[in-house]
Amino acid sequence: MTGQRSHSGAPAGDQSEFEDLFDHAPVGYLVTGLDGVILRANTTFARWLDEDQESLIGRSFLRLLPVGDRIMFGTHAMAQLEHTGALNELSADLFTRDRSRIPVLLAITRVQGHHGTTDRIVVIRATERRLHEQELVSALHSLQEADEARNRLLEEARRQAQHDSLTGLANRSLLQDQVRDALIVGAHSSTQVGLLFCDVNRFKRINDNLGHTAGDDVLRHVARCLDQAAGSEALVARYSGDEFVVLVPTIIRGNELALIENRLRLELASPILIGDRRVSVDVAVGAALTPSTYHHDDVTGIAEKLIEEADAAMYRAKTRAHGKPLERTKSPEKLRLETDLRGAAARGELKVFYQPQIDARNTELVGAEALVRWHHPELGLLSPLDFIDVAEDSGLIKEVGAHVLHTACAFGMAMLNNGKALEMSVNVSAYQLSDPEFVNDVRKILDTVGFPARLLTLEVTESKVISNTVHSNGTLTALRELGVHLSVDDFGTGYSSLSQLHSMPVTEVKIDRSFVKDIDENSPLTLITGIIGLARGLGLRIVAEGIETPAQLQALTHIGCDRLQGYHLGRPVDEETFHARHY
Amino acid sequence: MGEGHFGMSGESILRRNNVTVLGRTDGPVLMFGHGFGTDQSMWDKVLPYFVEDYRVVLFDHVGAGGSDLDAYESAKYSSVEGYVTDIVEILDALDLTEVTFIGHSMSAMLAVTLAAEHAQRLRRVVLLAASASYMDRPEDGYEGGFSREDLEELFESLDDNYVVWASRMAPVFMNNPHRPELGADLANRFNRTTPHIARELARTAFLADVRHLLSKVRVPALIMQCADDIIVPMHVGAYLHQNIPSSTLVNMKAKGHFPQASAPEETAHTMLRYLGSTTPGLLTLV
């Protein structure tokens, strides 16, 4: 720029002096439009950037800033400039032509002129100052780090006060706080709070026999399993000694507590090694839920009551599973079977065999009864008679039952996929029927496997169906609603009154083998004919099992049975053999 | 409902977000959301156009302006959702429905999320200097204006320089007529505590990607695209318009990223014209 422009009243010499002052001042001068486009730049600025003065005109000032500064400028500095019309001492870097950076300070003023609004930018080299700033920033960083370290220590101290040092779980006082908090939230949002109270079975015996270190190992093991089972929304606390509590602050699904308990039992399924001994650990679990509405005035009271309730439920569960709690005596054989049965399904020791069921009218294969066998690593092949009592007694029947049901459904599904619709009959114990989760478990297995409910029949022993009428009626109805068939096993041996049977949602009876055994060429068929007549009167499907001779087959085919099963028609065999033999 | 969030009364939510309610109490509700780097005072110049006929709700995002910095939680605010939750809580606390949410810059992303996920609370949204993703997405050819490397450099320079920046920028937040109580003490606190917040906020804003929500916007949307916006490239307005079902695109004469401050009249009139139309969605057909 040479002194071409002249303002009225200003001598030409002064003008060029001002121009010179502008161009060669020890600071950079810029004029930009509101969009940041450079309208004018002085020589000093161009020299610093190693750019040609003319070539800067029309370029965006913002593009001279490295992208980080540019974004900060665009989001922060521009906002202030729009707002207040001025900015002072803004730190930034500028790119020179060869992309090296020079630290500068910017002062910007927005000016209304003859030709519209422009920004005047004064640029000061700030290498020294930037060094100071950097020192300041690093001092601040270390201050912050010290602050953070202090906070971490405080946090750690707080954590320790609220946690159990052996297991790392929340302690009783934190649990009580959290239960109270959850109750307040629950009262506001009308959601339920759930608790599980867990007590380690025979913990005293473990402690006495194996020592306190072993006891501690067991507690840590249970803590880990609980932690795994409970999920991230729940709080697991060590309540006292061998008692643990799981708090689920918001029950989302109705069966949430049962799901946690199931997961816990799975986690606990395999024995742990203490020293050189395998120790099976299991727990008694009780659950409690807040009522659907309650007032949150006395959360401390409700919290206590809720914990007490879960504790009482645990105690009841213990009684149910073991007879009198803590005083049970078991034969060493049974104890051993119990220990070994724990996790047997997961270890692949439980095998399911299938015995064919034949349509009496045309002798076609229509179904199979699933029967479990236990390949005990030392005792060999065990039939259900050998271990079902132990399974029921210990609660392991749930695990065993689920395994058999899943396996049978999966086999049925595999057959179905091969184009053969085979009905599967699976035995269910009274213990399973009394489990409120049972219907859900069945539904889940069917869903997982994809096996149609109409192809599944659950067999329940007559005496058990009847004795549990009141309790399990809801369960049976719910199972029917799923589409599953229900069969009364060992029909004729129980004390069933017909009126009771009439009111139950069963679809099939299985005539007990004792009636079949009595059939021979010479004896009359009066009794069994009567039984069949009764069942037919109720509209039930009739299955006869235990058929071992041609005579029995002959007789039963003619007196109105729908289906037939027995050694004479096919023994229980494994999947491969079943498949090879029948298809 | 008196309480929008358990443990936090409506009142403390309003305090947390430094909520200001202005204008005609029985008027239709306009809620203004500010962007990264600013606070509610950014709307000052346009407010006179609205307060006579509308009920105006202003707030500061947690971490900005006069918000409660103690309420800042890294985990919550590391995604757009955390900020959206706050806005829904403010709506609950004030019991607002049929709201027109006007979002500038990062708040326009929140507007998109609100309109996709909480449409029942909204009447319309206005997206001012908006982007669906500031970052380029080379995998599908979207150009947001900044490459991954650019943004890494931004985050790095925030680490190194934010304290210095903040010390310069603080006065803008002090210059708020609605909050005369802000004093030097708060300014100091601001300087001391915000670097990590700014760092995280920058990540949340600049790495966010709401493109998948555009087609789910359930209310009419006005897109106001500025010329020469250093933050949002010109083609982004058209991109938003193409992808938001009943949207109207207005290319403004205003230049830069802050039309509500640099061109308040044009900005306000554009919005008023849109707010006054009875079938805003149909404007796109004309």
CA distance B248 to chain A (A): 25
User: With contacts defined as CB-CB under 8 Å, which chain B residues touch A76?
Assistant: 37-38, 165, 169
Query: In chain B, pLDDT over 90 holds for what percent of residues?
Result: 60
Q: CA angle B258-B105-A123, nearest 5°?
A: 50
Taking CB atoms and an 8 Å cut-off, how many pairs form between chains A and B? 114
Mean pLDDT of A367-382: 91
Cβ proximity of A89 and A54 under 8 Å: no
Q: Which chain A residue is nearest to residue B45, measuring alpha carbons?
A: A83
Q: Answer positive or negative: Cα dihedral of A424, A428, A434, A437.
A: negative
Q: Do A76 and B169 make contact, defined as CB atoms within 8 angstroms?
A: yes
Specify the length of chain B in residues: 286
Give the number of other CB atoms < 10 A from CB of residue A274. 18
Cβ proximity of A580 and A544 under 8 Å: no
Q: Is the pLDDT of residue B286 over 50?
A: no
Q: For chain B, which domains are there?
A: 10-285 (3.40.50.1820)
Beta strand ranges found along A114-158 (DSSP E)? 116-125
pLDDT at A466: 54
pLDDT at A298: 80
Name the average pLDDT for chain B.
84
Q: Is the pLDDT of residue B280 over 50?
A: no
Instruction: Copy the structure tokens of residue A4.
Output: 């071409």
DSSP symbol at B284: G
Regarding the domain with residue range A172-320, which homologous superfamily does it belong to in the CATH classification?
Reverse transcriptase/Diguanylate cyclase domain (3.30.70.270)
pLDDT at B182: 43
Q: Do B153 and A66 make contact, defined as CB atoms within 8 angstroms?
A: yes
Of A59-73, A251-265, B117-131, minimum mean pLDDT range: A251-265
Q: Is the pLDDT of residue A54 over 50?
A: yes
Name the average pLDDT for chain A.
84
pLDDT at B285: 32
Q: Which of B105, B107, B133, B247 is catalytic?
A: B105
Burial class (CB in 10 A: 0-12, 13-18, 19+), A539: exposed
The per-residue pLDDT for range A279-324, each reduced to its tens digit, is 788 899 999 988 766 776 788 888 888 999 899 888 888 776 654 4
Distances (CA, A) of B20 to B55, B66, B120, B172, B273: 11, 11, 23, 18, 24
pLDDT band at residue B189 under the 50/70/90 scheme: very low
* Three-state secondary structure string covering B205-267: HHHCCCHHHHCCCCCCEEEEEEECCCCCCCHHHHHHHHHCCCEEEEEEEEECCCHHHHCHHHH
First to last CA, chain B: 41
**CATH code of the domain occupying A12-125:** 3.30.450.20
pLDDT band at residue B278 under the 50/70/90 scheme: low
pLDDT band at residue B168 under the 50/70/90 scheme: low
**B277 belongs to the catalytic site:** no
pLDDT at A13: 63
Q: Is the pLDDT of residue A36 over 60?
A: yes
Cβ proximity of B200 and A107 under 8 Å: no
Q: What is the pTM of this model?
A: 0.51
Q: Which of B39, B60, B86, B229 is catalytic?
A: B229
Cβ proximity of B247 and B139 under 8 Å: no
Cβ proximity of A203 and A241 under 8 Å: yes
First to last CA, chain A: 101
Of A51-55, A151-155, B108-112, minimum mean pLDDT range: A151-155
The per-residue pLDDT for range B217-226, each reduced to its tens digit, is 999 999 999 9
What interface predicted TM-score (ipTM) does this complex get?
Answer: 0.80
Enumerate residues 6+ apart whose C-beta is below 8 A from A367. Answer: A356, A357, A422, A423, A424, A425, A457, A563
Of A66, A83, A90, the CB nearest to B175: A83
In DSSP notation, A213-272 reads: HHHHHHHHHHHHHHHHHH-TTSEEEEEETTEEEEEESS--STTHHHHHHHHHHHHTSS-E
The per-residue pLDDT for range A509-543, each reduced to its tens digit, is 888 887 787 777 666 677 778 778 878 888 889 99
Q: Is the pLDDT of residue B11 over 70?
A: yes
Enumerate residues 6+ apart whose C-beta is below 8 A from A200. Answer: A206, A218, A219, A222, A242, A243, A281, A282, A283
Give the number of other CB atoms < 10 A from CB of residue A54. 10
The closest alpha carbon to B88, from B122, B54, B55, belongs to B122
Q: Is the pLDDT of residue B276 over 70?
A: yes
**Strand partners for B127:** B103, B223
Q: Which chain A residue is nearest to residue B151, measuring alpha carbons?
A: A68
Name the strand (E) or helix (H) holding A371.
strand A365-376
**pLDDT higher for A5 or A122?**
A122
Enumerate residues 6+ apart whose C-beta is below 8 A from B156. Answer: A68
pLDDT at A498: 58
Give the separation between CA B144 and CA B89, rounded to whole angstroms. Answer: 30
Q: Do A82 and B165 make contact, defined as CB atoms within 8 angstroms?
A: no
DSSP symbol at B28: P
**CB under 8 A, 24+ apart: contacts of A488-494:** A488/A459, A488/A460, A488/A461, A488/A462, A489/A427, A489/A459, A489/A460, A489/A461, A489/A462, A490/A461, A490/A462, A490/A463, A491/A462, A491/A531, A491/A535, A492/A462, A492/A531, A493/A462, A493/A463, A494/A461, A494/A462, A494/A463, A494/A465, A494/A466
Pairing of strands B99-104, B55-58: unpaired
pLDDT at B56: 96
- Yes or no: domain A348-582 corresponds to CATH 3.20.20.450: yes
Count CA within 13 A, CB hemisphere, residue A160: 5
Count CA within 13 A, CB hemisphere, residue B185: 3
The per-residue pLDDT for range A92-128, each reduced to its tens digit, is 899 999 999 999 989 999 998 887 889 999 999 988 7
The closest alpha carbon to A306, from A461, A187, A441, belongs to A187
pLDDT band at residue B166 under the 50/70/90 scheme: low
pLDDT at A422: 93
pLDDT band at residue B103 under the 50/70/90 scheme: very high
Q: Position of tokens 């049976």?
A: A476
pLDDT band at residue A503 under the 50/70/90 scheme: confident
pLDDT band at residue B169 under the 50/70/90 scheme: low
Three-state DSSP class for A477? helix
User: With contacts defined as CB-CB under 8 Å, which chain B residues touch A74?
Assistant: 230-231, 257
Q: Is the pLDDT of residue A9 over 60?
A: no
User: With contacts defined as CB-CB under 8 Å, which chain A residues touch B42?
Assistant: 79, 83
Domain map (residue ranges) of chain A: 12-125, 133-161, 172-320, 348-582
Beta strand ranges found along chain B (DSSP E)? 20-23, 29-33, 55-58, 99-104, 122-128, 221-227, 247-255
The closest alpha carbon to A214, from A274, A130, A270, belongs to A274
DSSP symbol at A453: G
Mean pLDDT of B206-223: 95
Cβ proximity of B109 and B206 under 8 Å: no
Give the separation between CA A484 and CA A502, rounded to whole angstroms. Answer: 18
Q: Is the pLDDT of residue A563 over 90?
A: yes
Of A58-67, A175-184, A535-544, minimum mean pLDDT range: A535-544
Of A78, A144, A188, the CB nearest to B258: A78
Give the separation between CA A573 and CA B11, rounded to whole angstroms. Answer: 72
